[in-house]
């Protein structure tokens, strides 16, 4: 069952509930301070304070009588209420600090779990699904979008209570000071509400555009960083700079429009806040000059603080709406990843035995979203256990597409693919892929030591097993020439290695798995013929029970295979040993003759 984003807060629900409660304590403390300050101004600072406090009775006189009886000075009034304000500030600070801690713990725990599940889902998606999302978009969703949702969770656990409480509490305290102050709020609030509504109505749809433009920037950066050598080789820095500038300008433009809209709110709130303060001072001055009861200098000062708190609470609410809008856009994008069901669904079979390692019956394959003639059609093939099958054919005839069906990078659109007599869809994906070692066309290495890159094939491989795999792959000699040998660090994507070295390390990595089926997808193209001959001899001596599928362009690489499948126009036209193909297959003879002619011409030159 698919999880909603809200469900990720459940493990941290206690912290998420505690945070608003702590925030309530901080807000109540802040609301008490102007009230106490008014007593200091009215009774502790003004000259007639002592007379007034004894005439007024109520809270102030009760407090002073509690500590001093009927004999106290104005300084004692200031000191007493000042200490009360200090204590309340300390209590409020404690609540605020505890709220910040619990909300951060809840938000970061939420983000950790969400990011973990999103990453696991990305790893479970098929190649066609990750291609559809694009790499740049997935990076943005895993980083920026998740961060936006985490920021929203932290804000909601802190400010969801703070803003309404300041608004309601400030309004109530303002009315308790003087009912006339309520008229000021009644005039100011509609203007504030209309301004915020109009701004957010236009800004909210733009947040989705911001994230899409950020996808575009990330995609350009990712392509140019990974393809830096090609860019430099073709002197296309200026072109790529312009492409990045276009994507960057698009992001900047949308961001600028959003920020320009949001910038309207601050000056409007400031003008309204200051206008309300002026109106409050004016009303207070008129009432004070008229000598009306219930109005004092302390009341006016407290009223200014409360009306400022009310307006600021609206500012906080606006920031919350902005965060909610961004989080909704980002949350939708993260949910798209989490709700995407993998096209390649795992089965339950984990083990089976058969003399036929790989079987393909009337297999056809078409890449998702394409029309017209399928890439592969009418594929019928059996590869026996321990057999070496080579596949040869023109560029684009479907060789890589064919071997991609074996580890289920894609599923056949028609027909059946079986491993050890069991339909491939019935296998548990992990168990299936552990049976198979893949050495792909593009050698992917990671920023780690040589040993750890080889150990990817089997995390539990010993140093002896790693060295043995490297020796079979003809990689041991050049590894030992490095300063730190197997502990030498490889630059990102193997940038510090030659093409042949990367291919041999990739082969060693596959060999450490000790697979039942070993696939070489044109993965010896960077090796010279002498090194490739040594590699094939070592494979033959050490992997006699391993089924090998070998894709190559060179006849010299495949002619010693048990059988050679000739792939032409998406189907297997011939499949036999080298000598037989030379007699029966015109296509194979053409490839052989063209390569031998090139070899002879090269030797003559």
Distance from C-alpha of 493 to C-alpha of 309, rounded to nearest angstrom: 55
| Residue 333 covered by a domain | yes
Residues 246 and 143 in one domain: yes
Residue 402 and residue 21: Cα distance in Å, rounded?
A: 61
CATH number of the structural domain spanning residue 600: 3.40.50.300
The reply to whether 583 and 503 lie within a common domain is no
Q: How many residues does the chain have?
A: 605
Q: Are residues 132 and 237 in the same domain?
A: yes
Residue 344 in domain: no
pLDDT tens digits along 20-49: 999 999 999 988 888 888 888 877 776 555
Please tell me the distance from the alpha carbon of residue 515 to that of residue 436, in angstroms, as a whole number.
Answer: 5
Is 201 domain-assigned? yes
Token output for 404: 């991609």
* pLDDT tens profile 65-122: 788 877 777 888 889 889 999 999 999 999 999 999 999 999 999 999 999 999 999 8
| Phi, psi angles (nearest 5°) of residue 438 | -115, 130
pLDDT in tens, 504-529: 999 999 999 889 999 998 888 888 88
Provide the pLDDT for residue 415. Answer: 92
H helices present in 178-296, as ranges? 180-226, 228-233, 237-263, 265-290
Q: Domain for residue 130, yes or no? A: yes
User: Given this model, what pLDDT does residue 135 score?
Assistant: 78
CATH of the domain at 232: 1.20.1560.10
pLDDT at 604 over 50: no
- Whether 67 and 184 map to the same domain: the answer is yes
What is the predicted pLDDT for the residue at 46? 65
∠ CA 443-446-448, rounded to 5°: 135
Please report the sign of the dihedral spanned by the C-alpha atoms of residue 199, residue 201, residue 202, residue 208: positive
How much is the pLDDT for 550? Answer: 92
Q: What is the pTM of this model?
A: 0.73
Share of the chain above pLDDT 70, in %: 95
Same domain (yes/no): 396, 484: no
Domain count, the chain: 3
Residue 327 counted as domain residue: yes
482 in a structural domain? yes
The whole-angstrom separation of Cα 210 and Cα 558 is 52
Q: Residue 561: which of 526, 520, 601 has the closest Cα? A: 520
Secondary structure percentages of the chain, helix, strand, coil, to 5? 70, 10, 20
pLDDT tens digits for range 403-445:
999 999 889 999 999 999 899 999 988 888 889 998 888 888 8
Same domain, 425 and 453: no
pLDDT tens digits along 467-504: 999 999 999 999 999 888 999 888 777 777 888 888 89
Mean pLDDT confidence for 551-565: 88
- Asked if 392 and 411 sit in the same domain, the reply is yes
Which of 480, 475, 559 is closest to 510 using CA atoms? 475
Instruction: Specify whether 364 is located in the same domain as 388.
Output: yes
Q: In terms of residue numbers, what domain contains 119? A: 5-338
- H/E stretch holding 509 reads helix 499-512
Residues 592 and 575 placed together within one structural domain of the fold: yes
Do both 99 and 201 map to the same domain? Answer: yes
Check residues 292 and 431 and name the one with the higher pLDDT. 431
| pLDDT for res 391 | 93
Instruction: Clarify whether residues 376 and 494 are in a common domain.
Output: no
Distances (CA, A) of 365 to 108, 212, 373, 410: 44, 33, 10, 9
Clarify whether residues 199 and 243 are in a common domain: yes
| φ/ψ (deg, to 5) at 276 | -65, -40
Nearest alpha-carbon partner for 213 in 151, 261, 256, 242? 256
Give the 3-state secondary structure of residue 436.
strand
- Picking from 268, 303, 338, the residue at the C-terminal end of a domain is 338
């Amino acid at each position: 069952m698919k999880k909603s984003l809200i469900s990720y807060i459940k493990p941290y629900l206690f912290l998420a509930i505690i945070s608003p409660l702590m925030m309530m304590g901080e807000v109540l403390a802040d609301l008490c301070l102007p009230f106490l300050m008014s007593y200091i101004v009215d009774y502790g600072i003004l000259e007639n304070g002592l007379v007034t406090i004894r005439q007024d009775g109520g809270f102030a006189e009760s407090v002073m009588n509690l500590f001093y009886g009927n004999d106290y000075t104005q300084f004692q009034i200031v000191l007493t209420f000042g200490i009360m304000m200090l204590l309340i500030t300390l209590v409020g600070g404690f609540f605020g600090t505890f709220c910040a801690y619990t909300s951060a713990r809840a938000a970061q725990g939420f983000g950790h779990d969400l990011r973990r599940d999103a990453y696991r889902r990305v790893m479970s998606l098929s190649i066609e699904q990750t291609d559809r999302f694009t790499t740049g978009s997935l990076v943005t969703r895993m980083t920026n979008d998740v961060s936006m949702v985490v920021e929203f969770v932290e804000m909601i656990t802190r400010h969801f209570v703070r803003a309404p409480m300041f608004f309601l509490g400030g309004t109530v305290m303002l009315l308790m000071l003087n009912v006339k102050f309520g008229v000021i709020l009644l005039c100011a609030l509609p203007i504030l509400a209309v301004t915020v509504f109009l701004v957010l109505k236009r800004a909210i749809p733009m947040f989705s555009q911001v994230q899409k433009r950020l996808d575009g920037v990330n995609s350009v950066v990712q392509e140019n960083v990974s393809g830096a050598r090609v860019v430099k080789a073709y002197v296309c820095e200026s072109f790529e700079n312009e492409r990045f500038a276009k994507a960057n300008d698009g992001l900047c433009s949308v961001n600028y429009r959003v920020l320009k809209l949001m910038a309207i709110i601050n000056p409007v709130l400031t003008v309204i806040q200051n206008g309300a303060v002026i109106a409050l001072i004016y009303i207070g001055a008129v009432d004070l000059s008229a000598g009306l009861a219930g109005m004092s200098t302390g009341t006016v000062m407290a009223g200014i603080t409360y009306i400022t708190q009310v307006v600021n609470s609206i500012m906080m609410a606006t920031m919350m709406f902005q965060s909610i809008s961004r989080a909704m856009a980002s949350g939708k994008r993260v949910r798209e990843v989490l709700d995407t069901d993998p096209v390649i669904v795992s089965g339950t079979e984990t083990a089976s035995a058969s003399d036929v390692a790989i079987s393909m019956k009337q297999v056809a394959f078409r890449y998702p979203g394409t029309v017209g003639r399928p890439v592969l059609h009418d594929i019928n093939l059996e590869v026996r256990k321990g057999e070496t099958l080579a596949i040869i054919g023109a560029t684009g005839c479907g060789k890589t597409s064919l071997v991609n069906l074996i580890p289920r990078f894609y599923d056949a659109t028609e027909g059946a693919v079986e491993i050890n007599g069991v339909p491939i869809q019935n296998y548990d994906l992990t168990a299936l892929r552990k049976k198979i070692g893949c050495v792909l066309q593009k050698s992917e290495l990671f920023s780690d030591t040589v040993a750890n890159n080889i150990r990817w094939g089997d995390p539990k491989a010993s140093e002896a097993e790693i060295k043995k795999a490297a020796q079979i792959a003809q990689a041991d000699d050049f590894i030992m020439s490095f300063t730190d040998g197997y502990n030498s660090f490889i630059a990102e994507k193997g940038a510090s290695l030659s093409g042949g070295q990367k291919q041999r390390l990739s082969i060693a990595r596959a060999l450490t798995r000790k697979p039942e089926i070993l696939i070489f997808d044109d993965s010896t193209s960077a090796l010279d013929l002498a090194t490739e001959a040594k590699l094939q001899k070592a494979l033959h001596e050490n992997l006699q029970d391993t089924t090998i599928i070998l894709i190559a362009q060179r006849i010299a690489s495949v002619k010693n295979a048990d059988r050679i499948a000739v792939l032409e126009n998406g189907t297997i036209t011939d499949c036999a040993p080298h000598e037989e193909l030379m007699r029966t297959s015109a296509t194979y003879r053409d490839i052989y003759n063209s390569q031998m002619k090139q070899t002879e011409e090269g030797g003559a030159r």
